[in-house]
Amino acid sequence: MLIAVIIINLILSLVFFFVAWRLWKLKHTINQATKSILNADRVTYNVLHATPATLAQGERGTRNLRTQYQQVELQLLRWRQILQLLSLGQAAWVRQSILKRRPRKQKLSRTL
């Protein structure tokens, strides 16, 4: 009977030692996962911490570009108008010079 109790105690001791060893491994794995998550959180924070300022700077840059684009569009419109006026003036000048070069038809007198 004493031997049976000793064998049962040894078996229970081995089972509990195995459970304790598995729990220790699980604790080690959880600690590593915690360190990884904290490191990822730190890196993410460092990257995203400057995001609002960067976005505000980008918005300012976009606003400035839009303003400059509108000014360039206005200048382009003015140049087009100037070129159209010059083209119109050139066409009128060409017509005028063509009309001046044409010999005038002489009227035939009908005197018999």
Tell if the pTM clears 0.85, that is, is over it.
no
Looking at the predicted structure, is the pLDDT value of residue 28 above 90?
A: yes
Q: Which residue is associated with the tokens 């035939």? A: 108
The pLDDT score that the predictor gives to residue 112 is 54
CA nearest neighbour of 9 among 17, 43, 76: 17
Looking at the predicted structure, is the pLDDT value of residue 42 above 70?
A: yes
Token pair recorded at residue 54: 């960067």
The pLDDT score that the predictor gives to residue 104 is 66
E runs forming strands in the chain: none
| Helix (DSSP H) and strand (DSSP E) numbers for the chain | 2, 0
Q: How confident is the model at residue 110 (pLDDT cuts 50, 70, 90)?
A: low
Residue pLDDT, tens place only, 45-88 = 998 898 888 899 999 999 999 999 999 999 999 999 999 999 99
